[in-house]
Chains A and B, each alone.
Chain A
Amino acid sequence: MAYSEKVIDHYENPRNVGSFGKDDGDVGTGLVGAPACGDVMKLQIKVKDGVIQDAKFKTFGCGSAIASSSLITEMVKGKSLEDAGKIKNLEIAQELSLPPVKIHCSVLAEDAIKAAIEDYKKKHASEAA
């Protein structure tokens, strides 16, 4: 499969690979996908005052799954939780020029950021209430 240059670039030089302590109070973790389906994405955000300071990922998946996760870590940095939650998979798919058969990789990235935000909010549910 011929990938766009952007996919190749993110695949060969992935941004923000790594992990934060998942029990840390300022960290939200999203783990989506399934090994049996061939892709698992772990996306973590570090949040301060409702704004995402940093993001890291680890992905088991094809080149476009890795590129999608790498790209979304860049997109969410500096965004408020609310804005980050509004990111649509189509933005990722378009930015990376994903072929139709790989669109689900971008969906997974959207799911991952939503899951990470939810995890963070759950940790801080008592504060908000």
Chain B
Amino acid sequence: MKEKPKLPIYMDYQATTPMDPGVFAAMTPYFMEKFGNPHSSGHKFGWEAESACDLAREQVAELIGATEKEIVFTSGATESNNLALKGIAKFYGDKKNHIITIVTEHKCVLDTCRHLEREGMNITYLPVQKNGLIDLAELEKAITDKTVIISVMAVNNEIGVIQPLKEIGALCRKYGVFFHTDAAQAFGKIPLDVEAMNIDLMSISGHKIYGPKGIGALYVRRKPRIRIIPMINGGGQERGFRSGTLPTPLVVGLGEAARIAKLEMEKDYNHVKTLSERLYNGIMESAKDVFLNGDKEQRYPGNLNLSFAYIEGESMIMAIKDLAVSSGSACTSSSLEPSYVLRSIGVGEELAHTSIRFGIGRFTTEEEIDYAIKLVTGSIDKLREMSPLWEMVQEGIDIEKIEWAAH
């Protein structure tokens, strides 16, 4: 008999991941005995910290086909996205003042764009298709002679779809436009190659790949050289792109996480894919009116975003409280607005309210998935029994045709 898994079960791998024990072990010496400042160039304490950071830089670079000199350590993907977009806009904005991005980007890209708009940049927020992917023809049409950079994320954090990076990169090269990608959800999980994909800037996060929080990186292409204006001024560390003393333990952690991710990528991917299919099939076999959000093929399988029609997302979360998941429902956000990502892929508001994101990762087990299937399918029945919408649909009433009073 299978053992009951330890509860609650963590299924929110897009929010953050538990640290890999190997990562933690690699970091610990740099808190106490190897505490040196990596920028102290006159003694052993500094040298050992510096060489640890150099190794980490190589490990990060290796994962994306870059060279170590192209890696700029930051506090995380949010800072990297800010640095990439603001840095480019500040340097090139006088001559080329147009940025193209997409409506399903993470808030830290969209909000940065809004900020740049107020500073005089022109931004195109390109819509996506119903499967969550961009239309390359539309992207090409949006490019003008004023376009300086195109910023399109690699893997979407809410629905897991993978944008066609290589094709976008080719377009960027064709028109002489820089290509930035927010790879927070992709780095270490799917193969990325800055050369093959023509990526000029890439944002990277540590804590999404079993590394520590508070560390990330920005890849900045050197050939041909990309110029960005730094946001943080100071001692000129990180080639002047990001001043401030490097947090050696965190840098080491990101490096080790990248090393493990490279080594384990195929195994991790297959593990996640098997479990994701098991969960999807397990739920779909016993429940009707459940829908997968985002493209069925072009996706990272560790992100399974499902809409459970006629069941509000927060009440589902409460019913499956042994599972740590997140929802696109308004009731789980402070704004009371349903997910803008789901809305922009054409998911109706009523279905957006019913979405749950199941995150599967390196440490998810088969027992956990089986437990999740049982819990979810049981809750579907219970909550639909309580849903007036479900009752109306069973009676043959078309709820789309009812004139609801918005409130």
Interface residues of chain A, those whose CB is within 8 Å of chain B, are 1, 8, 11, 14, 17, 19, 31-42, 58-63, 65-66, 101-102, 104, 107-108, 111
A59 near B386: Cβ-Cβ < 8 Å: yes
Chain B 360-407 interface residues, beta-carbon cutoff 8 Å to A? 385-391, 399, 404-407
**A58, B331: Cβ atoms closer than 8 Å:** no
Q: Is the CB of A35 within 8 A of B407?
A: no
Chain B positions within 8 Å of A, measured between CB atoms, are: 310-315, 318, 329-332, 334, 336, 338, 348-350, 353, 385-391, 399, 404-407
Chain A residues positioned under 8 Å from B385 (CB to CB)? 17
In the complex the two chains form, is A33's CB within 8 Å of B311's CB?
A: no
Say what secondary structure dominates the interface of chain A: mixed
Known: A17-B385, A35-B350, A36-B350. 8 other contacts (CB 8 A): A17-B386, A35-B349, A35-B399, A36-B349, A36-B406, A58-B386, A59-B387, A60-B388
Question: Which residue, A17, A34, A41, has most C-beta atoms of chain B within 10 A?
Answer: A34
Q: Select which of A8, A36, A42, A104 is within 8 A of B388 by beta carbon.
A: A42
Pick from B318, B331, B386, B387: contact of A38, CB under 8 Å? B331
Given contacts A60-B310, A62-B314, contact A38 B405 (CB under 8 A): no
Q: Are B407 and A108 in contact (CB under 8 A)?
A: yes
Q: Kindly state the separation between the CA atoms of A59 and B310 in the bound complex, as whole angstroms.
A: 10
Distance from A37 Cβ to chain B, minimum over Cβ atoms (Å): 6
Number of A-B contacts (CB under 8 A): 91
A40 to B30, CA, bound (A): 55
Q: Are A60 and B331 in contact (CB under 8 A)?
A: no
Q: Is the CB of B388 within 8 A of A62?
A: no
A34 CA to B315 CA, complexed, in Å: 16
Q: A33-B407, A38-B331, A108-B407 are in contact. Are A63 and B314 (CB under 8 A)?
A: yes
Residue contact B329 to A58, C-beta cutoff 8 Å? no
- B338 near A38: Cβ-Cβ < 8 Å: yes
Contacts A11-B318, A33-B407, A66-B386: A38 and B332 contacting too (C-beta < 8 A)? no
Q: Are A14 and B386 in contact (CB under 8 A)?
A: yes
12 examples of A-B residue contacts, CB within 8 angstroms: A11-B318, A17-B386, A32-B407, A33-B404, A34-B404, A37-B349, A38-B331, A40-B388, A58-B391, A60-B310, A60-B312, A60-B390
The answer to whether A34 and B388 have CB atoms under 8 Å apart is no
For the complex of A and B, the 6 pairs showing the least CB-CB separation, nearest first, are A34-B404, A35-B350, A62-B331, A42-B388, A62-B314, A36-B349
A32 to B407, CA, bound (A): 9
Choose from A8, A31, A60, A104 the contact partner of B311 (Cβ within 8 Å). A60
Residue among A8, A38, A41 making CB contact with B330, cutoff 8 Å? A38
Q: Is the CB of B404 within 8 A of A36?
A: yes
Residues of B near A19 (CB, < 8 A) are 391
Whether B406 contacts A37 by the Cβ 8 Å rule is: yes
Out of B334, B390, B407, name the residue touching A34 (CB < 8 Å): B407
A residues less than 8 Å from B388 (CB atoms): 31, 40-42, 58-60
Structural contact, A101 and B386, CB atoms closer than 8 A: no
In the bound assembly, the distance between CA atoms of A102 and B314 in angstroms comes to 12
Distance (whole angstroms) from the CB of A60 to the closest CB of chain B? 5
The 8 Å CB contact of B407, one of A37, A58, A60, A101, is A37
Residues in A with CB closer than 8 Å to B332 are 1
Chain A residue at minimal CB-CB distance from B406? A34
Chain B residue with Cβ nearest A108? B407
Cβ–Cβ < 8 Å partners of A58 in chain B: 386-388, 391
CB distance from B392 to the nearest CB of A (A): 9
- Given the complex, which residues of A lie within 8 Å of B406, measured CB to CB? 34, 36-37
Q: Do A104 and B386 have beta carbons less than 8 Å apart? A: no
Contact of B336 among A34, A59, A101 (CB under 8 A): A101
